[in-house]
Structure 1
């Protein structure tokens, strides 16, 4: 059985939100639209998005890191949102495994949102219907588009190619090779939903100051200095603050 999905490389995602804006533009003008922005600029902004990028700061200075984490519907192979829908509006397409919503049947009861452990469902306040990522089903099946454009809008828009699209059940596909060769993982597998979307883990680099360079940017730092505190190395003059500031 075919299972289309996204593989997201956290090493190269720069948090530019190109995927967010392209997703919003395509789906607002496509089969899912129009997506409501009730209060786009107020103190309490509200809007419907199929894809969001969450940004976190990790670590303790100077070994800090910024992590950009895109998240949308994971198109689970055993989606809990489907059986709880009282009208059958939520369903999993047999041809490619994409989880979709039939808007003509949706009554906006939010049962699917309560069942989804990933928070991937949103209620469109204007239409009173539950919405979510469709993997741009109306793009990938559109014969009017050139073959190279039959991909989700977010994949085409990503400037760093952090998003890969394909069939994870095909061992020779780009997504399957990326998962296999780079240790791709599922989000919260303990829920047994078998999410199809995978993430490629960030590769940690060893350094003494957070600059990412082997051995750090400190002048004359010894091989074991990276295990010492920043304060101790600073007092000995082993930290190049100028280089650290430029890097950050």
Structure 2
């Protein structure tokens, strides 16, 4: 089981972050600590975070929102380094989980993870991470449509997909095949289950992702932009 995240439609709203925090604080993962939440330097334990950065240069600059959580690797380096066996990979669905009763908070798993997906809960002195809402996706007390990770249900742009990547007919497998989904940092050979759908080229005329908004800009617009520079960019934006 895995997430597929569409970077082309993520708007960085942090709905996934807050819904994840709410569900897991009240779920089987237990209370997730916050340190100084109303002070100048707040911190806390989160299973999911969204990193935002700028790429390119004007007029082709782009703001990219990059959600990141545990990638539930098929060969997770965090598991074999755990001295107590608290970190383990579940065979039936591939989830990488933590047995909190065995965790001693030594941080070995955090040092081994190349993605920075592990966090120490300072209040509980236990390592925490995304569970893909394991206590939710199999909960028969919930309607079937709600048996998805909290972050998936909360996303207002449907940037997050959930399913079995080993099933070629699943929505995630089809999205990976059709959009060229990729794994994060494959050179580490951890074979992450989670994939990302690449961001499409930015349309310099109006800043949209190519093919994602149905705008009416044309090749002539782009040629004119290149010929007349930034002043033409402003005029074209008003016209569009």
Aligned residue runs from structure 1 range 96-245, under 5 A: 96-207=93-204, 210=207, 214-215=217-218, 223=223, 225-226=225-226, 233-234=229-230, 237-240=231-234, 243=237
Q: Report the CA distance shift for 1:164/1:24 in structure 2 as closer, same or farther (over 3 A).
A: same
Contact 2:17-2:49 within 8 A present in 1 as well: yes
Q: Report the CA distance shift for 1:95/1:209 in structure 2 as closer, same or farther (over 3 A).
A: closer
- What RMSD, in angstroms, separates the aligned Cα atoms of the two structures? 2.2
Task: Measure, in 2, the Cα distance between the counterparts of 1:118 and 1:73.
Answer: 8
TM-score for the superposition, normalised by structure 1:
0.88
SS, match of residue 35 in structure 2: coil
Which region of structure 1 is more displaced relative to structure 2, 198-207 or 67-76?
Answer: 198-207
Larger Rg, first or second structure (1 or 2): 1
Aligned residue runs from structure 1 range 46-57, under 5 A: 46-57=43-54
Q: CA shift at 1:210, angstroms?
A: 4.4
Q: Report the CA distance shift for 1:211/1:199 in structure 2 as closer, same or farther (over 3 A).
A: closer
SS, match of residue 44 in structure 2: coil
Contact 2:33-2:121 within 8 A present in 1 as well: yes
Task: Measure, in 2, the Cα distance between the counterparts of 1:222 and 1:183.
Answer: 26
SS, match of residue 223 in structure 2: coil
State which of 54, 61, 80 in structure 1 corresponds to 2:77.
80
Q: Report the CA distance shift for 1:110/1:65 in structure 2 as closer, same or farther (over 3 A).
A: same
Query: Paired residues, what number?
Result: 234
SS, match of residue 238 in structure 1: helix
TM-score for the superposition, normalised by structure 2:
0.91
Task: Measure, in 2, the Cα distance between the counterparts of 1:188 and 1:86.
Answer: 26
Q: CA shift at 1:71, angstroms?
A: 0.2
Task: Measure, in 2, the Cα distance between the counterparts of 1:112 and 1:239.
Answer: 49
**Structure 1: where are the runs of 5+ without partners?**
none
